[in-house]
Amino acid sequence: MKVLIVEDNKIALMGIKKILSGYSNIEISTAENGIIALEFLTANPSELPRFILLDLNMPLMDGIEFLKEIKKNDGLKTIPVVIHTTSFNSSEVKNCEELGICGYFVKELDMVKYKSNIKLIADYWTESKRH
């Protein structure tokens, strides 16, 4: 099962990948901003991910702009998108909800909670069992 992680923070990305490595059926693709993510998705229409884990605060094309772009594309707009970001701004959450997100998680500073959130997202969207 394919998952696309759109995250510009290398340390956060490394942590997410390590947590998801415990799932034998997850194949991870990554992009460091919305532009690269869009290029990846449009170049691989037959290899679309089961879900996208999206950071909002990124250079070049942030998460909100990325969401707007994929919602314009009939081939991409049905991919579930879960926000995983450092900020909890109520207007930002509302904007994301209006763009059709499937979840909004604030990145936890506590590693136990952080790991738990990533596992919760993975378990829900992949319906997988850890090995």
Amino acid residing at 80: P
Strands 103-106 and 51-54: unpaired
Residues 69-116 have pLDDT tens digits of 999 999 999 999 988 887 778 888 888 888 888 877 887 677 788 777
Mean pLDDT of all residues in the chain? Answer: 85
In the prediction, which pLDDT does 122 show?
A: 81
Give the residue from 48, 120, 115 showing the smallest Cα distance to 82. Answer: 120
Give the residue from 36, 43, 33, 37 showing the smallest Cα distance to 4. Answer: 37
Q: Which residue has the higher pLDDT, 119 or 42?
A: 42
Q: Give the strand order in the sheet containing 103-106.
A: 27-31, 2-6, 51-54, 81-85, 103-106
In the prediction, which pLDDT does 131 show?
A: 39
101 Cβ contact partners less than 8 Å away, ≥ 6 residues apart = 67, 81, 82, 83
Cα–Cα distance, 38 to 58 (Å, whole number)? 14
Cα–Cα distance, 111 to 101 (Å, whole number)? 24
Q: pTM for the complete prediction?
A: 0.86
Cα–Cα distance, 54 to 58 (Å, whole number)? 10
